[in-house]
Amino acid sequence: MARKIVVTSGKGGVGKTTVCCNAAIQLAKRGSRVLVADFDFGLNNVDVMFGMENLATYDLIDAVEGSCRARQTLIRHPRFPTLYIVSSNRVPEKYISPQALRLVLDALSPQFDFIFLDSPAGVGEGFVRAASCAEEALLVTTPSISSMRDADRVSGMLQGFRLGKVSLIVNFVKKELVRRGAVFSPEEIAVALRLPVLAAIPEEEQLSLAGTADRSRPFRRLADALLAKDGEERGQSLFAAWGRRG
């Protein structure tokens, strides 16, 4: 059965979907069977990020409404044979409950090792749906005060769900500013938000998808941490060498 992991953030623009999709690619490269399900109904970006926006026949809402079987929503990535997506191309006319979405995911779960749920940013209805369907959470933030404040609010909300593990991804980290003590380090963010950091992604190594081998290194390490039994300890080592403030 798949590990169901919601990828969420307190605010938009922190690179949540980019992190989610790159992690999925790196896991697929390691032979894991991975599904990325877009839970941002009507504002979906997952299929666009993967360059697969014209390949969907059915989407997640079709499966919930009974217009197709769950497996008919799957779109296989043209380059990575163990990577699939489920899109959400329209806004549903009626309310869709987390229970209905869980039924679709449970039908797909035996086919995968990981199911990533790309959640809308914030703590609205879409966030509640995604978190209700997950067993773990990756909370994406940046070192900015506003992003950390919003992430703290989301972290508090996540405590209300039955999640086995909640970890941080610190994105857009400027290593030189961290060394100078000009911004919070990933370690300090972990302390402030009371959550373990699974990965820290340097700003200069951002990329859209699966770029060059050197620039995709942070996402390879993230995939390794997700696969490791001691993922939290390995995540801590990703940023320890960057030093502390002060």
Give the residue from 11, 26, 41, 132 showing the smallest Cα distance to 82: 26
Task: Please tell me the CATH superfamily of domain 3-242, with its number.
Answer: P-loop containing nucleotide triphosphate hydrolases (3.40.50.300)
**Predicted pLDDT at 175:** 86
pLDDT of residue 217: 86
- What's the per-residue H, E or C state across the chain? CCEEEEEEECCCCCCHHHHHHHHHHHHHHCCCCEEEEECCCCCCCHHHHCCCCCCCCCCHHHHHHCCCCHHHHCEECCCCCCEEEECCCCCCCCCCCHHHHHHHHHHHHHHCCEEEEECCCCCCHHHHHHHHCCCEEEEEECCCHHHHHHHHHHHHHHCCCCCCEEEEEEEEECHHHHHHCCCCCHHHHHHHHCCCEEEEEEHHHCCCCCCCCCCCHHHHHHHHHHHCCCHHHHHHHCCHHHCCCC
Percent of the chain with pLDDT over 70: 88
Q: What is the pTM of this model?
A: 0.90
Tell me the pLDDT tens digit for each residue of 15-63: 999 999 999 999 999 999 999 999 999 788 899 999 998 999 999 999 9
Beta bridge partners of 170: 141, 200
Residues 6+ apart with CB under 8 A from 37: 46, 60, 85, 86, 88, 105, 115, 116, 117, 118
Structure-block tokens of residue 234: 């390995």
Give the confidence band of 215 by pLDDT, cuts at 50, 70, 90: low
- Please say if the pLDDT value at position 237 is more than 50: no
The pLDDT-based confidence of 208 (bands split at 50, 70, 90) is low
Question: What is the pLDDT at residue 11?
Answer: 86
pLDDT above 60: residue 231: no
Give 167-203 pLDDT, tens digit per residue.
999 999 998 888 888 889 999 999 999 999 999 999 8
Structure tokens at 77: 């990535």
- Go through the chain and tell me how many residues it has: 246
Residue 244 binned pLDDT confidence (cut-offs 50, 70, 90): very low
> Each residue of 124-146: pLDDT tens digit?
999 999 999 999 999 999 999 99
- Which residues does 54 contact at the CB level (< 8 Å), separation at least 6? none
pLDDT band at 204 (very low <50, low <70, confident <90, very high): low
User: At 206, is the pLDDT very low, low, confident or very high (cuts 50, 70, 90)?
Assistant: low
Residue 180 CA to residue 203 CA, distance in Å, equals 16
| Confidence bin at 93 (pLDDT 50/70/90) | confident
Q: What is the dihedral of CA 108, 84, 235, 158, to 10 degrees?
A: -50
Q: What is the rounded CA–CA span in Å between residue 237 and residue 187?
A: 10
